[in-house]
Structure 1
C-alpha cells in the first residue's frame, strides 16, 4: 500500500504493499521486546550512591565504597526513589543501574500506553529472565505481530557520549518509516541528542523478524548525566510516551486523510488532491444533502470537483479554490432556497458562466441532473431521496459508468422520475437500499413497466455499502473511507473516487463495521491506496488503527 506523509491533507512518499493481517477485526498487534534480562544485564552504569533521606543521586569517582549498604539498600529490592531493583556492585558495594532493568520498566510502561490506546500488545519478557535472540524473534513471528520494537539503552567507553538512535533492517521501507517516527517522537519527549536513524544487518532481532522491526537505543547508561535521567521514573515514562507516540504516528501515517478543518475545507482538499486545473466546478449546499445526492455522475462527466458552500453566502475557502482551479463555469445544484441568488451573483463576478440545475423538489432536481448526464447504457439507479447513505455508496460507480441517479420517496415513483426513465429509454434499473427505503411497490412498478430492477441492499447502511463495493469493485487498487453518519465528505469525494475507479465505503465514527472490514480484508493484497475522507470528527483515529489491522505486512 502507498504510504503518505501528510502536510495539511495528503501528499507523497514511498510505495509499500500491505498484506492481510491474521485477524480482520483486531487492532494492530505490537510486539515489545525489553532488551537483555536475566543473566544478561546489558550495559551497566558507573557506581552511584543515593541519599536515603532525600533521594539525591551522586555518581562516585573518588573511590568511595559500600554506600549502598550504608544507606540500608538491599540487593534486588525495589528502590523507593528509582522504582528499579537495587543492583549492588559486589566489588565496591555501590549501586549500579542495569540496562536490562530500565529496558523492562520502559517496556511495561509502553505496554500500558499501547493497551490504553486500544492496541494489542505482546511482550517477549515481563520479568527479569534470559531469552535468546532467536526466542525473541520467534515470539513475534509466531504471533504474527504487526511490528516489533526492541527497547534498549546504550553504552560507550567514553562517558561523555550520549544521545538517542534507532535502527532498522536495510531495505525495509516500513521499518525505516517506523524508525523515523519513533526517533522523532522520542526526541520530542526526552530532549536528548539526535544521534541517527540507521539501517544495519548486524542486529539479530531485526533480521530474524518477519515484520517491520526497530531497535531503539534511548539513552547512554555509561553517561552519568543520562544514567541519572534513566534512574528517574518520570524520565522513563517520557521514554515510553515517546516510543508510543512514534508507533501511533506510524500506523496513522499509513492511512492518509484528505481533510480540512470543516466540511467546506475538506471539499477543497479533495479538489486539490484530484485537480490541478478544472474549467467547471459543481457547487452544492454544505449543510443539507437532497439536491446534491445525484451530482456525482454530472461532476464526472464535466471532470469537475464538487465544492460546498453555505446557503446564503459563498464560502471563502470555496471561492479561493474556484480561483486556484482557473474555473470559468460553475454549476449550482439546487434552487434558490438551497443556494441563494446572493451566492449566484457573487459567482458571476468571478467566473464567466453560472448555471443552476433545480426543480421544485429534490426528486425533480435529481431528474434534471439525470437529463444532463444521459445514460448510454440505458441504466438508471433508483434510491431513496429521504436519506443519503445508499446514494453515496453507489455514487462512485454511478459516476464512473455515467449512470444517472434518480431519487424516489419511499412508496412511489414521482412523475418526474417516470418521465426521465422514459426519455432516457432506460431498460435496466438498480435499486439501492432495502424495502424500508425503496418500497416493494416501487420495485413492482419497475417490473410492470419493464425497467428490469435489481435490488442491492443490506440490513443497514454499512452492509449495503459493503455489498455495493464487493459487487462493483471486485479488484480495487484504491478505496475511500467516509463516515456513514453524515453526507458532505463522501459527496465531495465521489468524483475523485470515480477518477480512481475506487469504491467509497462507509464506516461508523469509532468502529469499523464487520462487513466493511471483511471487504477490505478480502482485497488487502490488491489495495495500494486507502484514503480517509474527513478529519477526526467524522472518522476517529481508532478507525484508522482498525483498518491498519487489516492492511498490514
Structure 2
C-alpha cells in the first residue's frame, strides 16, 4: 500500500512539473569580491584574506606573466602569498602588506628583465632570494627544483605538471590545484621538452605527469617514455578550468572565479585557492560558461569568491549565480563554516 502511495505522489509531482532538482536556489551560493584599485592592490587584498602572518612572500611581475606562473606552488610550499610588483619599483600597498605580514624572506621569481635589480635593492630590510633562469622555461625548472628541496617526500612528489609557457590561461587555471597539492609546474613551448626539464624529471625519478591543456598546447609526445600521464583539458580555457576542478577537487564548498582574459588577478588567486581548498574557475567578462554555472549550482558549493574588479568581471556577470548584492572580503568569514546570510 505504501509503495502505491509513493508512486502516486511521484506521478502527481511529475504531472505538476514539480520533479525534484539538484540545482540550489540562487541564495544558497553567496557571492564575494576581492579587488583593489589596481592589480597590485588586488594581490594585497587576496593576501589579506588568506594570511594573518607569514615569514615568506613571493614577488612576481604584475606586468608580464611567464615567470609568475610557477609562483603559486612555491608560495604554497613556503606558506606565504603571491604579491605583484612593477618592474622597477615595489608599490606602496605591497610594501605595507609585507610589513603587516611580518615577512622576513622575499622570493623574487623571474629575472631582472621582469623584476629589476632596483626592486631587489629596495627590499634591503628583507632576506631577498631570486629564483630565475635564462628564459621562462628554465625559471620554471629552477622553481621546481627549489620546491623539491623544500618538500618532504609524499605521494605528490612523484608528480609534475606540464603546461604551455607561451599562453597563460591553462597554467593559471591549474595554479590552485597545484598550490593545494604542492606539485611543481614545468613549462614547454610544445615543440620539445628542454634538457633542464628532462634532467629534473630524471634526477628526481618522477614517473607521473599532469598535462594541462589540449594537445595543441602540450603534447604527450614530449614526455619521456617511462612517464605516465593524465590530461586536464577542455575545448577552451574555461572548460579546461572546469576539468581541473572536477578531476582535482572533491567535496568543494568554495570556488574562486577570475578572468581568463588577463593574467594578473589569477596569479595572486592561487594562494586563495589553497586557503579555501577550492578550484580556480575562469570566465570572460560577458558570460560564465554554462557548464561552469551547472557545476556551481548543482553541487555543494556555498561560496563563490570573485578575484578582480568590476571592469573585468562586472556584477551583472554573476546574476546567473545569484542576483543578491555581492559581499566584500571582510564578510567571507570562517571558510570552514557555512556562510552567514
TM-score, length of structure 2 as denominator length: 0.83
Per the alignment, residue 335 of structure 1 pairs with 111
The C-alpha deviation readout for 1:376-419, integer Å capped at 9, x for no partner, is 43100010000111111111111111100000002211111111
Residue 305 (structure 1) aligned with residue 85 (structure 2): no
Secondary structure of the corresponding residue to residue 108 of structure 2: strand
Does the alignment pair 1:510 with 2:286? yes
Q: Quick check: 1:531 aligned with 2:308?
A: no
Which secondary structure state, in structure 2, belongs to the residue aligned with residue 481 of structure 1? Answer: strand
Determine the structure 2 residue equivalent to 1:346: 122
Superposition RMSD on alpha carbons, in Å?
A: 2.2
| Residue 379 (1) aligns with residue 155 (2) | no
Q: In the alignment, what sits opposite 1:93?
A: none
Q: Which runs of 4+ in 1 moved over 4 A?
A: none
The match for 1:403 among 183, 197, 217 is 183
Bigger relative CO (Cα 8 Å, ≥ 6 apart): 2
Matched, 1:281 2:60: no
| Partner of residue 359, structure 1 | 133
Alpha-carbon distance, 1:549 to partner:
6.5
CA distance in 2, matches of 1:522, 1:417: 40
By how many angstroms is 1:499 displaced?
Answer: 2.3
Q: Give the corresponding residue for 2:172.
A: 392
Distance 1:499 1:421 in 2: 29
Residue 474 to residue 522, structure 1, CA distance change in 2 (3 Å): farther
More off after superposition, 268-277 vs 375-384: 375-384
Q: Does 1:470 align with 2:246?
A: yes
Q: SS at the partner of 1:421?
A: helix
**Residue of structure 2 in register with 1:444 after alignment:** 221
Which one has a larger percent helix, Structure 1 or Structure 2? 2
Does structure 1 conserve the Cα–Cα contact (< 8 Å) formed by 2:179 and 2:273? Answer: no
The superposition leaves residues 244-275 of structure 1 with CA deviations (integer Å, 9 ceiling, x where unpaired) of xxxxxxx8x94110100111000000011011
Gaps of 5+ in 1: 1-140, 145-210, 213-250
Query: C-alpha deviations, 1:272-300, integer Å up to 9, x for none?
Result: 10111111110000011000101111101
Aligned residues: 297
C-alpha separation in 1, matches of 2:32 and 2:241: 21
Give structure 2 stretches of 5+ with no counterpart: 1-16, 325-340
2: distance between equivalents of 1:399 and 1:512?
A: 24
- The TM-score with structure 1 as length reference comes to 0.52
Conserved? CA contact 1:393–1:465, under 8 Å: yes
CA distance, structure 2, for counterparts of residue 383 and residue 538 of structure 1: 25
- Residue 305 of structure 2 aligns to a residue whose secondary structure is strand
CA contact (8 A) 1:379 1:427 kept: yes
Partners of 2:30 and 2:303 within 8 A in 1: no
Kindly indicate whether the alpha-carbon contact (under 8 Å) linking 1:511 and 1:542 is maintained by their aligned counterparts in 2: no
SS across alignment from 2:198: helix
Q: 1:426 to 1:549 in 2, by over 3 A?
A: farther
1:319 matched residue in structure 2: 95
Task: Assess if the C-alpha contact under 8 Å between 1:512 and 1:547 holds in 2.
Answer: no
